[in-house]
């Protein structure tokens, strides 16, 4: 009867939404961590050779496909070999230790979705933890609220980390560059010899459209 009364008052809706968001976050985490991030396969080399001329005109024409010294496949532009995954990854961004998987061409949009849902969950959890704190200057209060206080501080730390990670990735996506390209610009041949600082940048709107759509 109590549950029915709470349902009629709409008090069960918020917990159900929160649990749904947590479940969605877990499913996105599993999807991103277990899926193929865009591994370059040997049988795709012929297609790569045909498609490289269609990439971007500002990339110097004398940049040739480089054969990977580890897995011996021809690397397309923007690909990089990950020694932890033992594969070359298309549009390589980074190897995420949280996921134990690379973030690349195929799972990068889902990775952004995961970070967004995770941020909402953390902000909501932080709000709930904060609403349960009633500060008093006494040792007894601290003994009764120490775990809630530590939980709130932990949520704040994770929220800051996820927020900074999400903002930095959205910025790089709006510029059509990757974490690897941004950090190692001087080491990458197709960027170092290009006439433009970022030959893949086609404007914020088109960059976002091509990434997400």
Residues noted as catalytic: 96
**What whole-number distance in Å separates Cα of residue 109 and Cα of residue 56?**
22
Annotate 189-203 with DSSP letters as a single string: HHHHT-SSS-TT---
Eight-state DSSP code of residue 80: E
How many Cα atoms sit within 13 Å of 42 on the Cβ side?
A: 3
Pairing of strands 94-96, 101-103: antiparallel
Element (H or E) spanning 55, and its range?
none
Q: Is 140 exposed, middle or buried (0-12, 13-18, 19+ CB in 10 A)?
A: exposed
**Spatial contact of 163 and 119, defined as CB atoms under 8 Å apart:** yes
């Amino acid at each position: 009867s109590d549950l029915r009364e709470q349902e009629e008052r709409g008090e069960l809706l918020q917990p159900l939404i929160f649990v749904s968001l947590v479940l969605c976050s877990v499913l996105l985490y599993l999807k991103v961590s277990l899926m193929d991030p865009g591994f370059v396969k040997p049988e795709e080399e012929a297609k790569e050779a045909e498609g490289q001329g269609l990439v971007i005109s500002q990339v110097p024409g004398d940049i040739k496909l480089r054969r990977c010294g580890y897995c011996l496949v021809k690397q397309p532009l923007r690909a990089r070999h990950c020694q932890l995954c033992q594969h070359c990854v298309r549009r390589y961004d980074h190897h995420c230790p949280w996921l134990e998987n690379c973030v690349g061409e195929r799972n990068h949009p889902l990775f952004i979705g995961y970070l967004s849902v995770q941020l909402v969950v953390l902000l909501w959890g932080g709000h709930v933890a904060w609403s349960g704190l009633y500060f008093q200057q006494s040792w007894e209060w601290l003994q009764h609220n120490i775990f809630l206080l530590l939980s709130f501080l932990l949520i704040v730390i994770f929220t800051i980390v996820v927020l900074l990670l999400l903002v930095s990735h959205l910025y790089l996506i709006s510029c059509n560059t990757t974490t690897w390209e941004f950090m190692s610009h001087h080491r990458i041949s197709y960027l170092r010899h290009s006439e433009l600082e970022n030959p893949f940048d086609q404007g914020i709107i088109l960059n976002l459209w091509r990434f997400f759509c």
